A and B are shown apart, each in its own frame.
Chain A
Amino acid sequence: MTSDGGNDQVNNQAAALELTAITKRFGSVVAVDNVDLEIADGEFFALLGPSGCGKTTTLRMIAGLELPSEGSLKIFGDEAATLPPNKRPVNTVFQDYALFPHMTVEVNVAFGLKMQRVPKVEIAERVREAIGLVRLEGLEQRRSQQLSGGQRQRVALARALVNRPKVLLLDEPLGALDLKLRQEMQGELKALQREVGITFVFVTHDQEEALTMADRIGVLNEGELLQVGTPAEIYEHPVNRFVANFIGQTNLLDATVVSNDTVCLANGVHIPGKSDLDVGSRVAVCLRPERAGMHRPDQVPADHQSVVGRLESVTYLGNALVYTVAFEWARLEVRRENQPGGYRPYVGEEVAVSWTLDAISVVRA
């Protein structure tokens, strides 16, 4: 994640974006704290975190709308930390699209090219192409208030992509759309990115959106970049309790490291659990609900770890059932596909929640 210090890299080998020790302070508030991040050319990268975590500030620093308090920001090898937004080869799709209400779709899309003094013939050609790319043909003369949310989003995309930026930044691009449209646009954005081959960096608070669309995800909280990795890496090997909790549903059991392959749960039971943390560190055992098994206490398979508790409630989701099992010291959720037959305990019954060693991960508390 850190650069090798080679400042004279050839541009086409340089990362699309390289943030080194980027910090942004607003007064005494540290919005982004010492972030190092490298995003490769052509990557679809998600900055994920709860609201106020600094993800939008990070994006705005890449766009040039905020200047970092400290640190270096390179775009394809060129230092850009203090460049104004109109001098950077990046374009932004703003959260509420920020379409110019006094201009038609066509003029909105042409705006960036006009500002760069692109020849008129070329503007017309490229605008037509961009409008075709986002399938808005026929709406060129509409104004933004005459468009639906999904159409506005496409105009915003066309308006940015028509400039052929080296990096496209998207600030909660799907946040303003309703669920159905959002799911549709997820696929479309992904396809669009493959088609144009430009590096996309998008900000979202929706972990599902990040998992579905991104090649890699950076998880931010309170200005700190906690983990960067592929969706699978982040889901399966979260670095700490926050990431485990933020990405997907999970059960977290408080524990203490006893040795490098054993942890002690809060109830005093030692279970196998690999970690490279110091003995005595407080950790959490992360067990995803869909990876937990549930059996009659006397029928737990031999290679499974288990704890026995009382079934507290069952939530029916249609395609799945979520069982909440209570212990004196914790509560676990178990998710089972809704298959015919199988084990169907009653509420109040004693059940064993079980797992294999590879189903859990030990994370920093």
Chain B
Amino acid sequence: MSSTVQPRGATKIALSVHSWLVYIFFFAPIFVLIVFSFSDGRNVGRWGGFTLEWYQGFFDHNQIQSAVWVSIRVALLSTVISVVLGTLAALALERFKFRGRQVFDALLYLPIIIPDVTMAVMMLLFFSEFFELLDAWFNLDWQKGFGSITISHIAFNISFVSVVVRARLAGMSEVLEEAALDLYATRWKTFRYVTFPQIMPGVAAGALLALTESLDDVVVTQFAAGPGATTLPVFVFGLIRRGVTPLVNATSVLMLTASVFLVALSLAFQQFSGRGGRSLLRGGREAVSTPNNQMKKEIYQ
């Protein structure tokens, strides 16, 4: 029954060996990290018996806890703002013709393409100049911290969101919007009832991607952070410089778990759509507030 495009014989064996090597290459370090996060003893890399004390330590460590909260707040706020701006940018680029569109299109990709360090130095310069001006003109004494971190995260997240949303918009036929207009919908209602439900999976995937990017970022944040606030990855980076302890391992494992969860959620949302989204709908169709149910409620209740 196997098709002739399927590899056979030696090729097949070589391919499966290769894929196992890739998996080991990927996952062995993660496995080691996880194992040693449970190691009792200050020495990283020497097994000292099983313990959960480092996880306990993670939750007891005041600075870590405040860094976690900064991370979460920065991630949520920058995600919300960049999702709105990124989606609007995607809509503009995909649906409207305007002067300078191609330039804007190219510039939008810039934060994804340019090295993190460049972006970080840009941010550093920008904020120091900006705060100086604020001080000189308005006599405001602003410091780098939560605000500057959030702004810098918004700056790169807009690109990620708009790229993902655009991919979704490009797959959506403009005819649906024309049909809505033809059926007496205003432009706003067309967006609200037709365009948005159609691009929703893209927006959600973009949001989760932005959330992950924000939670993971070290380089840009390090340059934008000030004495007032720092995020978890930057704090961990600082810890390492003072010597790696299994506390770093435990923290990394928790961050890894959170990231994997978000990425998995993002992938699930990309699968979910009006057309191909039966997997998520199945089992809970009536419980989920789908655009259809919502519209139906508005019509009949």
Binding site for B on A (CB under 8 A): 63-65, 84-86, 90-92, 94-96, 98-104, 106-107, 110-112, 114-116, 120, 123-124, 143, 145, 159-160, 163
Please name the residue on chain A nearest to B172 by beta carbon.
A101
Q: Is B111 an interface residue (CB 8 A)?
A: no
- Of the candidates B175, B189, B291, B301, the one whose C-beta lies within 8 Å of that of A96 is B175
Please name the residue on chain B nearest to A112 by beta carbon.
B183
- Inter-chain contact A115/B290, CB cutoff 8 Å: no
CA distance A163 to B182 in the complex (A): 11
A94 contacts across to B, CB distance below 8 A? 175, 178-179
Tell me the smallest distance from the CB of B102 to a CB of chain A, in Å: 17
Tell me the smallest distance from the CB of A94 to a CB of chain B, in Å: 6
CA distance A353 to B178 in the complex (A): 53
Closest 4 CB pairs of A and B: A102-B274, A112-B183, A98-B179, A115-B184
Please name the residue on chain A nearest to B300 by beta carbon.
A120
- Inter-chain contact A98/B176, CB cutoff 8 Å: yes
If A65-B182, A115-B183 are given as contacts, then 6 extra A-B residue pairs at C-beta distance below 8 Å, sorted by A number, are A100-B193, A101-B275, A104-B292, A111-B193, A115-B180, A120-B299
B197 contacts across to A, CB distance below 8 A? 102
Tell me the smallest distance from the CB of B136 to a CB of chain A, in Å: 50
- Inter-chain contact B298/A114, CB cutoff 8 Å: yes
- Inter-chain contact B295/A112, CB cutoff 8 Å: no
Please name the residue on chain B nearest to A162 by beta carbon.
B183
Q: What would be 6 A-B contacts, judged by CB atoms less than 8 Å apart?
A: A84-B181, A98-B175, A98-B176, A101-B176, A101-B275, A115-B180
A160 contacts across to B, CB distance below 8 A? 183
B274 contacts across to A, CB distance below 8 A? 101-102, 143
- Inter-chain contact A65/B178, CB cutoff 8 Å: yes
B291 contacts across to A, CB distance below 8 A? 102-103
Tell me the smallest distance from the CB of B250 to a CB of chain A, in Å: 43
- Answer whether A114 and B194 are a contact pair too, CB < 8 Å, given A85-B181, A101-B274: no
Please name the residue on chain A nearest to B189 by beta carbon.
A115
Tell me the smallest distance from the CB of A96 to a CB of chain B, in Å: 7
Q: Is B198 an interface residue (CB 8 A)?
A: yes
- Inter-chain contact B185/A86, CB cutoff 8 Å: yes
With a 10 A CB-CB cut-off, give which of B197, B291, B299 has the most chain A CB atoms. B299
Please name the residue on chain B nearest to A121 by beta carbon.
B300
CA distance A94 to B173 in the complex (A): 12
With a 10 A CB-CB cut-off, give which of A64, A102, A104, A160 has the most chain B CB atoms. A102
- Inter-chain contact A63/B296, CB cutoff 8 Å: no
A contact patch SS: mixed
A103 contacts across to B, CB distance below 8 A? 291-292, 295
CA distance A248 to B181 in the complex (A): 37
- Inter-chain contact A100/B296, CB cutoff 8 Å: no
Tell me the smallest distance from the CB of A150 to a CB of chain B, in Å: 19
- Inter-chain contact A92/B182, CB cutoff 8 Å: yes
CA distance A90 to B176 in the complex (A): 17
- Of the candidates A65, A98, A110, A116, the one whose C-beta lies within 8 Å of that of B299 is A110
- Inter-chain contact A102/B290, CB cutoff 8 Å: yes
Within 8 A of A (CB), among B253-279: 274-275
- Inter-chain contact B173/A98, CB cutoff 8 Å: yes
Please name the residue on chain A nearest to B198 by beta carbon.
A102
- Inter-chain contact B180/A111, CB cutoff 8 Å: yes
CA distance A114 to B296 in the complex (A): 10
CA distance A159 to B300 in the complex (A): 17
CA distance A91 to B178 in the complex (A): 11
Tell me the smallest distance from the CB of B158 to a CB of chain A, in Å: 26
Q: Is B186 an interface residue (CB 8 A)?
A: yes
Write out, one digit per residue, whether chain B residues 277-301 have a CB within 8 A of any chain A CB (1) or not (0).
0000000000000111001101111
Tell me the smallest distance from the CB of B274 to a CB of chain A, in Å: 4
CA distance A103 to B290 in the complex (A): 9
- Answer whether A102 and B292 are a contact pair too, CB < 8 Å, given A114-B298, A124-B300: yes
- Answer whether A63 and B182 are a contact pair too, CB < 8 Å, given A98-B173, A101-B274: yes
- Inter-chain contact A86/B275, CB cutoff 8 Å: no
A110 contacts across to B, CB distance below 8 A? 299
- Of the candidates B175, B182, B300, the one whose C-beta lies within 8 Å of that of A86 is B182
CA distance A107 to B292 in the complex (A): 7
Tell me the smallest distance from the CB of A198 to a CB of chain B, in Å: 15
Tell me the smallest distance from the CB of B180 to a CB of chain A, in Å: 7
- Inter-chain contact A112/B178, CB cutoff 8 Å: no
Write out, one digit per residue, whether chain B residues 158-189 have a CB within 8 A of any chain A CB (1) or not (0).
00000000000000010110111111111001
